Structure formats: C-alpha cells, structure tokens
Amino acid sequence: MIRMALWLVGALLLGGIVHLVTVLLLPRMATQDAYARVSAIAPVNAVVPVPSPTPEKAIMPFMDPAFAVSACRYDLSHGPLKFSVPISQAYTSVSFYTSSDVAYYAINDRAAGRRVIELDLMTARQRAELPQNEDITAADRLIVASPTTTGLIMIRALVTETAGTVSARNALAAAQCRPQ
C-alpha cells in the first residue's frame, strides 16, 4: 500500500514536470501562432497589407476592425533594417514582435513627435558593432534592438469615417522596411 502511494507521489511529481515542460515548449512548437500566420502572406523584409478582419475570415483572432494593418516580417541575419512610415492625421502605431510573438517595443505617432516614424532595427550584436564616435549616434537616430534575428513589425493606422481613411491607408502604403 505504501509502495503504491510512493508510486503515486512520484507520478504526480513527474506530471508536474510534464506540465511545465509542455507549457514552456508550446510557443516553440506552435505552427499556427501569429508569426506563422503572418509569414504565410508576408515575404521577408517587405511591407505588405494585412487583410482587414471580417466575420468570415481573419488572419488572426481578436484583430481590431477599426485599424488598417500592414506587416513587415523581418530577418536581420544579413544586416540591420531601415524602417519608416509617414504619419497620417489618424493615430498610427508601430509594434515590434519577436518570432515567438513577444511584443518588445511599440511606438506611436505622438511619441515619435514628427511627420515620419523612422528607425533602425538591428540585433543587439549588430548594435554593439556600430561605430561609437560618429555623428550618427545623434539623438535623431532611433535604434531599436531586436532580441531575435527574425520577427514582425506591425503598423497600425486608425481608419474610421471621421479620421481620414484615405490618408491613413496612403501612409501605410508608403511604409518601408528594407536592408540598409
């Protein structure tokens, strides 16, 4: 009887380990996560429009229908990336996600403070290799360090009847993300 109880305790402990390992491994094993879904429509290092969600079809669940969205799937293995998007009259934001869907940085038009959101995206290593003593380290150059070599940039602009749908869509269409 005692032996049986010991087996059971051991089994429960092992079950706890199985639980923790599966939770930790799941983000790496997932084949239908947001990164995979966007990868299906987005070529590397280019901005593509993401279709607006409809009741019949949406690339991801819980997309906000008030926004027009474009995506850039980046790969920094061949060097840093230059990203820019002009700001429309409407709210515009740029969010950065790693290849495992972790949001590590986001900026909006007001925080950027000018007519264009412009930044350099690079890995921590590429950033460390930047020359230190040149003028380019001036404050007007925004550098974002990506924790992973691949990931997603999501550009969102508010499109409502009042807030200039056309200018918001034009701004998204003019967004660029390309190797330096």
Partner 1 sequence: MRLLFGSLFALAVAAAVGLGATWIALTRGTAYGGVTIGAWTAWPKNGTPGIDPYARAMIARTGDLPVGSGDGVAFYARTDDGGQPLDGRCDVVVSGITPQARFWTLTLYDTEGRLVANSVQRQGFTSQEIIRKADGSFDITVGPRARPGNWLPTGGVEKYLLALRLYDTPIGVATRNGRDVPMPAITRRACL
- Which residues sit at the interface with partner 1, rule CB under 8 A? 3-4, 7-8, 10-19, 21-24, 26-27, 30, 32-34, 36-37, 53-56, 58, 60-62, 64-66, 91, 93, 95-97, 100-108, 110-111, 147, 152, 154, 156, 158, 160-163
Closer residue to partner 1 (CB): 80 or 151: 151
CB 50 to partner 1: min, Å: 10
**How far is residue 59's CA from residue 113's CA, in Å, rounded to a whole number?**
31
* C-beta of 11 vs 136, nearer to partner 1: 11
Q: Which helix (H) or strand (E) holds 8?
A: helix 2-29
> Which one, 25 or 136, has the nearer CB to partner 1?
25
Q: Which is nearer to partner 1, 83 or 97 (CB)?
A: 97
- Compute CA distances 46 → 71, 98, 111, 179, whole Å: 8, 16, 24, 10
In the chain the beta strands, taken as DSSP E runs, fall at 47-50, 67-75, 81-86, 92-98, 103-108, 116-123, 143-146, 150-158, 176-179
Cβ–Cβ under 8 Å, residues 8 and 16? no
Q: How far is the CB of 130 from partner 1 (least distance, A)?
A: 22
- Which residues does residue 49 pair with via DSSP β-bridges, in sequence order? 70
Q: How far is the CB of 61 from partner 1 (least distance, A)?
A: 3
Q: Using CA atoms of 48, 51, 52, 57 in order, give the dihedral in degrees to the nearest 10.
A: -150
Q: CA 113 to CA 169: how far, in whole Å?
A: 20
> Quick one: 17 or 131, whose CB is closer to partner 1?
17
Q: What is the CA radius of gyration of the chain?
A: 21
